[in-house]
Structure 1
Amino acid sequence: MSLRASKKIFIIDDHPLIRSGLQSEIESLDGYEVCGTASSIQDGIRLMGFSRADLLICDVSLERENGIQEVDSVKRKFPDLKVVFLTMHRDWSYLQNAIAAGADGYILKSEPIESILSSLRQILKGGKVFPGEITSFRYDTEQLREAAEIIRRLTQRETEILKFLSKGKLNREIAEELNLSVRTVESHRTSIFKKLEINNMVELSRILFQLKSPDFL
């Protein structure tokens, strides 16, 4: 296959060993090339302007950046670029935020390299790749309608805190943002969980994700 027909992949990860290892694996495949690497989103945006990448592989937790929070900047500059997060975070709040940000995939670094490469091929062909857990858990429509109504009836402060929780913020981060004590934030969070009849952030993330899904909307 000619170089022009090759699919171009850009890698952003702040660990040099991961960048070089992944680049080596990708370039062992026919029809794929790594057109650049960077250790930060900002450097990546600058370099991708010269590379015409088809797909960006980005870590979530970079040294000075959160990959998910920065993906909007990437998408604005490169609207046709496919974005996949390659991460160690097996967490519903990260996953939910990645989907909301418009990611095409969310792949765990713990997956075998063959599985990672297969997922990259699928994404480049127009598919979406997310952990299987996201499709195996469903609340029924009536439960979701009830949850939506409960959320609409939350107090103003609870609504503020829920918005921060939906972005994966920790209690101490929310407390700093709203100039509250951590104990006050914990109290409001407990109240939200009680009203929704849930026990943890995993359940909250699942509800919020499905409320945003096309099937429910």
Structure 2
Amino acid sequence: MSYFNDVNDMVASEIRVILADDHPMMLIGIEHEFAEVSTIRLVGTARNSTELIALLNSKQCDVLVSDYAMPAGDYGDGLALFSLIRRRYPDIKIVVLTMLDNPAVVRALVMQGVTCIVSKSDAATHLIPAVHAVHHGGKYYSPTINEIVQSIDWNRRGRGSSNVLSQRESEVVRLFASGLTVNEIAEHLSRSKKTISTQKSKAMEKLGIEREIDLFRYALENGMVTSSQKNSDSPPSTE
């Protein structure tokens, strides 16, 4: 079941869309879907955050459809990128496209205020109602995402008003997942061990993650560490 605010009953004007995804075939497929819809006009595509920010600076855009994980680029990806875009371009609505099925990721997106999320495991046609829904202030989850949303315990920890990782928290999570201990991270960042431990704990709380192994997996699934660092199924030691 998907949710949106009577999209089919709304009189939609032409919606200017920018599409960002680091997979060329995905870009081609979505471009084809949008070309069949008279109310959607694709004004640009990007393969990483560097190209995306350049497009947002140069093109008039109503809706951004963006992949969650785009590791290459100067502005990162995932929650940090979406937070930047929301601050810098507050009038642009965001539809998140993702292949991740991690409830922590979906929960963090929803808590950040993302109301339209489409899974890559669902048909690309779901992007069309998602674009219309977000443009009109509505909500749309594709079937796979909706199942995840329904399974989430929204009363668990991480209910604070700010559920986006700060730059320092993201940095700590990335270094932790790359194999550094808390002591090593503290030395590397010239911070105290207590500060690093606190920032890691706050990151886990914001993401609704209770176990370090899940934080490790979260970092892997979100491109926070490089493929060369994905050499262990166990989280690093906290000592």
Smaller-chain TM-score bracket? 0.5 to 0.7
SS in 2 for 1:80: coil
* Mapping of residues 85-124 of structure 1, within 5 Å: 85-124=96-135
Which residue number in structure 1 is paired with residue 227 of structure 2? none
* Mapping of residues 17-28 of structure 1, within 5 Å: 17-28=25-36
Asked whether the equivalents of residues 17 and 43 of structure 2 are also in contact (C-alpha less than 8 Å), the reply is yes
The separation in 2 between residues aligned to 1:168 and 1:104, in whole angstroms, is 28
Structure 1 residue 35 corresponds to structure 2 residue 35: no
Which residue number in structure 2 is paired with residue 135 of structure 1? 150
Which residue number in structure 1 is paired with residue 19 of structure 2? 11
Asked whether the equivalents of residues 93 and 168 of structure 1 are also in contact (C-alpha less than 8 Å), the reply is no
Asked whether the equivalents of residues 94 and 168 of structure 1 are also in contact (C-alpha less than 8 Å), the reply is no
After TM superposition, the score normalised by the length of structure 2 is: 0.57
Of the structure 1 ranges 122-131 and 54-63, higher mean CA displacement relative to structure 2 is found in 122-131
Structure 1 residue 176 corresponds to structure 2 residue 180: yes
Which residue number in structure 1 is paired with residue 95 of structure 2? 84
Amino acid at match of 1:178: V
SS in 1 for 2:58: coil
The separation in 1 between residues aligned to 2:139 and 2:132, in whole angstroms, is 10
Aligned-pair RMSD on alpha carbons? 3.5
Runs of at least 5 residues in structure 2 that lack an aligned partner in the other structure: 1-12, 159-167, 186-196, 205-209, 219-239
Asked whether the equivalents of residues 116 and 139 of structure 2 are also in contact (C-alpha less than 8 Å), the reply is yes
Note the alpha carbon deviations across 1:38-57, whole angstroms, 9 max, x for none. Answer: 11122211212222211111
After TM superposition, the score normalised by the length of structure 1 is: 0.62
Structure having the higher Rg: 1
Which among 52, 57, 66 is matched to residue 58 of structure 1? 66
Which residue number in structure 2 is paired with residue 75 of structure 1? 86
SS in 1 for 2:110: helix
User: CA offset at residue 11 of structure 1?
Assistant: 0.7
Which residue number in structure 1 is paired with residue 53 of structure 2? 45
Which residue number in structure 2 is paired with residue 211 of structure 1? none
Which residue number in structure 1 is paired with residue 234 of structure 2? none
Q: Which has the higher contact order (CA 8 A, sep 6+)?
A: 2
| Cα 1:12–1:180 shift into 2, 3 Å | same
